Every structure is written in structure tokens, then in C-alpha cells.
A and B are shown apart, each in its own frame.
Chain A
Amino acid sequence: MFGLELRDLTKAYGDQLAADQVSLSIPHGAFVCFLGPSGCGKTTVLRMIAGLETPTSGSILLNGKEITDQPANARRFGMVFQSLALFPHLSVGENIAFALRLRGEDPRRRKERVDELLELVRLPGLQSRAISQLSGGQRQRVAIARALAQEPPVFLLDEPFSALDAKLREEMQNELRTLQQRLKITTILVTHDQREAMTMADTIVVMGEGQIQQHGPPVDIYRRPVNRFVADFIGASNLLAVEVLDGHTVRYGAIPLRVAAACGPGGAAATLAIRPEDIILSRTAGGGANEVAGVISLVRDMGAYVEYRIDCQGQDILGVSTPRDWIGAAVGEIAHIRLPVESCQVLGR
């Protein structure tokens, strides 16, 4: 297989499992984001891929070849560290040429490559600057250029943009995505920021408690979360405790709700997940299926959208409406919400 493959990758620290049987195939040229809360094991997996951490068990294959026992300096996967780890005693150019110097490239070739890379990250002419003279965004670009200098088979980034302010972060995200598509290099980025993952990745790998919870295209992850963890971690979700009635119906309190597909046998407890923007609000009861009445408990007009909460049988349900569709209800009014069948995901507990 062409690309990177992880097989049952496990890392234990004492009796703590930082990574638990992580298996994944990453095709050549893909952009993958490992997404999860802090301590979920995403950085551990990235460091095992880089060769900076030795797996307790499992294996890593690159283009079908086993590389599990190769040290980091034999793998030469370019990596951008969270702290960037630029060498303060070297200039920008010397930092970028570091790998080339180790490989014994001649000075002329090195200079060419540095110029080329600085061009690529849009910092032409800065090779003789000291690292301390650069701004945050410039350092970021130098770190990226340095990691790409050796033309690595895999490009790794560990929360590279977490120190930047929001505007610069977005700019760097777009730039990185464009760069990656141009170079067609297999890229793995670790982040806890779901926006970052959604905007850049071909594939998002959601990690929790050392395990892969779900992986797939960003929209799939958002639209069809496979479990409570993913539904809760990605975006805002209403998670309602329900009881399964049959293959297409669940019971929420006393109200039966039709769903796309219910899992588990009749009588089993389950969770119904529905995104706030899928909820349809109206003043009057339509008389159709999947309708629930409640009292509006909060309204927040955010300008671009209106957020509201409605108290249904003691549980607050969060909804979002576009300004155009907003019914103008006030706190304390009784209203009705409809949960469209195709938007109701039933997840196992």
C-alpha cells in the first residue's frame, strides 16, 4: 500500500494507556487531522509516527515497509513542534538548511533550496535574519520551511498554530492547506481546535481516551457522529436520553419520536443526538410527527443567527435559527419544536 499505515499502535505509561490499539490507513498525499481533547493520546500517536516515542506494541508501515523500529533520525519525517523548536544560535537560512547540511549537500545546492523554500513560505530574502528578529507568524513559516527542506515522506505538525492570535491563525491555516495541496505531501496535524480540523483536513480522526472514536471526512464526522463522545466533542449537540421502542421509533419521555434508524433492542436506553440548526421552531403546533412543546427559556440574537433554548419536559434543548426564520418569540412563551426524522441520530450509550 502506498501511504502510511498504523497497526494496533499502543503506548503504555505504567498502567496508563496513552494510545490504545490505534489502527489507521493514510493514503499518500492526504491531509489528516488528529482531533481530540487534551490528554486523548493524539500527540503520543504523532510522536510515535515521528519515531520520537517507541510504541509498546503495534507497528507502523510506510509504503508497505515496516518502520516501527527506525529511530527518528532515520525516518526523517519533517515535523513542526508546538514550541517550533527553532535553533536560536542559527540564522533563518541555517535553520532551514540544517537537514541538508547533515545530509552533506553542497553549499550551492543548499542555498538554492533555502531560497526556494523561503519563496514557498512567502518570506523571500530573510535567510540571514536571526530567529529572535522574526514575528510569530514568520517563525511559524520558517519552522514549516525547515521541516519541508528534506522533502520528507510524511509531514507532521503538533498544534503548530496554538500560540497565534485568531486572525493570523486562520491565515496560516489557509496557507498550509494551499501549500499541502500544491506539494501533495502526506500531512498529519494534531489539534484540539475543531474549526482548524474542519477547514483543513481531508480526513478527521477523532481521538478520545487513547482510542480512535471515529474517522472520516469532516462533514461525515459532523453529520453522522457514531457515538456520544464524538457528538458531544464536535460542535454543539443536543443529547436526549431516550428509550428504544422499535427499529424506527424511540420514546422521549412520553412522546414517541421517529428516527432514521434506532439501534439496540426494544426497551434499551439510548441517546438521541440532534444538531441545534436542524431543529425547526414554530409558535403553533403543526400536528405532525416528532413535535414537542416547551417553554422558551433563553433567546440570544447573535446577529448572524439566533440562538434559543427551550425547556421540554425538564431538559433544555438548544436550537439555532436564521434571522429570517426567527419567529420572534420571547422568554416564557410556549412554542413547538419539530425534530426532523433524518436529523435524529440514535447513539448507543
Chain B
Amino acid sequence: MTAAGVSIASTASGHGRMRDRWVLAGLLTGPGLYIAIMAIVPAFLMVQLSLAHREVGGLWSPGFELTQYRQLATPLFARIMGFSLLLALTGAAICVSLAFPAAYFITRMRRRAQVAWLVFLLGSLSLSEVLIVFAFQVLLSTSGTLASALNAVGLLAPGASLYPNFPAVLTCLVYLLLPYVILFFYPALSQLDPEMEQAAATMGASRVSTFVKVVLPMMRGQILTGVLLVVIFTFGAYLTPLVLGRPPQWTIAIHINNAAMGAGNLPLAAAYAVAVVAFMVALLALTRILSQRKAVEA
């Protein structure tokens, strides 16, 4: 957003500026309306819905009551949120500690190898959660290879299943998120000036200490944002805990969906959703504070 950019846009004459305004109006009216109707209106609607009065048969009438929000103060909701957060943070720890070095190595490859990795990562990232969950079901099924192999070495009782349980949910989530997180780290790590690391080497730093003392601290903000990304995704994940987990491993997403589609209590679902978004915004603020503390701008 340089001043130079502005100066070419508007030739100093008032006529030119007037024309620019018309051009901008022409460009932005359509997209603006679309975003307003499809993003802003639904967001307001959801807040309104969370305050509405629930009627029988899945209906609701406009109102202003905190009935649904009171449900958020129950131990049940706290337990669900607590579990969702535990799952998200465990997943984040695993994802980030695998994805960061992986992305670091990939950014240092030659072009052909990098492109191959990117295609592979994008391809696996785009695969439907339905598909991955299904594949995991096949992989973990009683008759599957993994189970038979574990049976053979005596690690698993015959006929026992590898899911539904917590590790299955966690593994599948890590699987879903790993390509995302690697690709998220990719730009920042590929931007990292190799001269930074070389400078550390000329001052006597080994590869490991360069990584720990130079690369990691420089990427602190990125890492925190990566964690946030995993948390957001985990809170939104629906199929994975549903298929690969038992009810105690159900995340907030399943409860929102059940309230909306199953119990027909849209106001409760909306209240849950508002709480989740508020929680995300708070987390975002927290990562901002953490990554800015002791950062460049003193």
C-alpha cells in the first residue's frame, strides 16, 4: 500500500478521481452484496438465533432470552469444550512438531522435489474427511492388515478392534491436518534467508543449535498461528470423532450438529456456535499477544 500505487491510480485531476470511484463501485458492488448476504447476514442470524425462543418441533420464534446460554454454564458443556481443547492441543503438538521440520526440509529441496511434495500434499489435503475417515475405518478394521499384524505379534487380542477410541480419533485428525500445517509453514520457511543460518555457522553454531537458536525463535509467531489453525480445525471436525470415537470422544462439532439436526434445537446449536467462535477469537488474541511479546517492535 504504497503512496506510489495511489498516485498512478488517480491522475491528480478531479475528473480522474471521479472516474476511479465509478470503476471501484462497479467492481465492488456485486462482491460486496454477495459477502454481505452470505457472510454478514448469516453471522447476525446465528447470534439472533442463539437468543431466540425455542418452539416445539424444531421451530423457533424471535426473542431475547438467555435460556440457551445458561446451558453453557453446565458441567456437560465444560466437559465437551475441555475434551475438544485437549484433543486439539494434543493434535497441535504432534502436527506442529512433525510439520515444522518437514516443511523446513521441503523448502530446502530442489525445485522438482519441492513441486512433487507440494502436489502430494495438496492432493492429500483436498481429500474429503468422509474419504479419510472411511480409509481409516478400512485400515483399522478387525479384518484389516494392521489388526492382523498386531494379532500376529500378540499386541492385540484376536477379534479386538483398533477403533473406536481416542488414539484412532487423534491419528485421523493428525492425518487430516498434517498437509495443512506443512503447507502453512511453507511460505515463511521458504522466505527465511539462508544467509541467516550461514551467519550463525560463521559464528560457530552447529546445525542443531542454528535451528534451535535462530530458525525456531524467528518462526515463533508462525508456530503459534499453526497451533491456532489446528485448534480451529479440530473444533470444526465432525466426522472423525463421530466415526472413529465413542460418545466420550465427541467434540463440540457433533453436539452442535446433534442439537441442530437431531434434537431440532437450533437456538441451542447457535449458542454453542457463538461460544465456539468467541473462544476462537480469544485464542487468536492470545496468540497475537504471545507472538508479539519480545518480538521485533520494542
Contacts and interface: CB of A to CB of B under 8 A. Distances in A.
Given A81-B195, A83-B193, A83-B195, A98 B203 contact: yes
User: Which residue, of A50, A72, A149, has the highest number of chain B Cβ atoms within 10 A?
Assistant: A72
Given A81-B199, A102-B213, 14 more contacts: A52-B202, A73-B203, A73-B205, A76-B204, A79-B199, A85-B196, A89-B220, A89-B295, A98-B200, A98-B205, A99-B203, A102-B205, A130-B298, A147-B203
22 contacts: A50-B202, A51-B201, A52-B201, A52-B202, A72-B202, A73-B201, A73-B204, A75-B202, A76-B203, A76-B204, A81-B195, A81-B199, A85-B195, A88-B296, A89-B296, A98-B205, A99-B204, A102-B204, A132-B296, A146-B199, A150-B203, A150-B204
B198 A146 contact: no
Interface in B158-212: 193, 195-196, 198-206, 209
Interface in B246-298: 295-298
Interface of B: 193, 195-196, 198-206, 209, 213-214, 217-218, 220, 295-298
Nearest to A129: B298
B220 A85 contact: no
Interface in A127-155: 128-133, 146-147, 149-150, 152
A78 B203 contact: yes
> What range describes how many residues of A lie at the interface?
35 or more
A260 to B, nearest CB: 45
Interface in A146-177: 146-147, 149-150, 152, 156
Q: Is the interface of B mostly helix, strand, loop or mixed?
A: helix
Interface of A: 50-52, 71-79, 81-83, 85, 87-91, 98-99, 102-103, 128-133, 146-147, 149-150, 152, 156
A146 B203 contact: yes
Contacts of B218: 87-89
Contacts of A129: 298
Nearest to A128: B298
Nearest to B218: A89
B215 to A, nearest CB: 10
A82 to B, nearest CB: 7
A87 B204 contact: no
Contacts of A75: 202
A85 B198 contact: yes
A255 B218 CA distance: 69
Contacts of B200: 73, 98
User: Which residue, of B196, B199, B220, B295, has the highest number of chain A Cβ atoms within 10 A?
Assistant: B199
A218 B228 CA distance: 59
B111 to A, nearest CB: 15
Nearest to A88: B296
